[in-house]
Amino acid sequence: MRRLFEMDLKDYNDTDNVFRRPSARAIILKGDKIALVYSKKEKYYKFPGGGIHVDEDKKEALIREVREEAGLVVIPETITEYGSVLRRQKSTQGNNTIFEQENYYYFCDVEDGTISQELDDYENEARFVLQIVSLDEAITTNSVYATDDFSNEIMIKREKQVLELLKQELECGHG
């Protein structure tokens, strides 16, 4: 899979332990709009997706995470690679630890209609809902997002950058 870009804060020691948490994220286009998860509490958009469990492959994780976060059922045979983003920074979970996350983005189609979300506690607290919006609306919303939560701030910068890249490539007939 092609590397879209890297976000390496270099705020750690090279001798630190590395905690890896890869993720799979869905790009679900609906005409000239995109299906995203919106945090009603924090006021940001993110691609549906999340962590890949040790016992599952990337596409299985994508299907599971989209179902849980967005209440959408991915059509497996429509999944195609878009690209990945590597994120590296000092972990907020422990001293002498680097948080490394390879985020794998995939285009996919979903079945019509929705099913019930199965949100984690933090996702419930963030009040995640599915929204179909224009790329411009998502980019604008994420551009003005501000928080004291450093981890969220980096995540939303990543999502905004992927949205901008996607918009640019779609306008040029790529992607």
- The string of pLDDT tens digits covering residues 27-73 is 999 999 999 999 999 999 999 999 999 999 999 999 999 999 999 99
Nearest to 103, CA basis, from 18, 3, 174, 34: 3
* pTM exceeds 0.85 for this model: yes
| CA nearest to 92, candidates 15, 148, 158, 24 | 148
pLDDT in tens, 116-166: 999 999 999 999 999 999 999 999 999 999 988 888 899 999 999 999 999
Return d(Cα 117, Cα 104) in angstroms, integer.
22
Domain count, the chain: 1
Pairing of the two strands 97-107 and 23-30: parallel
Give me the long-range contacts of 46-49 (CB less than 8 A, separation at least 24).
46/155, 46/156, 46/159, 47/105, 47/159, 47/162, 48/72, 48/130, 49/23, 49/24, 49/25, 49/103
Percent of the chain at pLDDT above 90?
87
94 pLDDT tier (thresholds 50, 70, 90): confident
169's CB contacts (< 8 A; 6+ apart) are 175
Q: What is the CATH number of the domain that holds 78?
A: 3.90.79.10
Q: Amino acid identity of 9? A: L
pLDDT at 69: 96
The predicted pLDDT at position 173 comes to: 79
What's the average model confidence in pLDDT over 74-82?
98
Range of the domain at 80: 3-171
- Quickly state the pLDDT bin for 175 (edges 50, 70, 90): low
| DSSP class of 75 | -
pLDDT in the model for residue 84? 98
Per-residue pLDDT band for 92 (boundaries 50, 70, 90) equals confident
pLDDT at site 44 = 97
Number of residues in the chain: 175
DSSP, res 43:
T
What's the rounded mean pLDDT across residues 81-87?
97
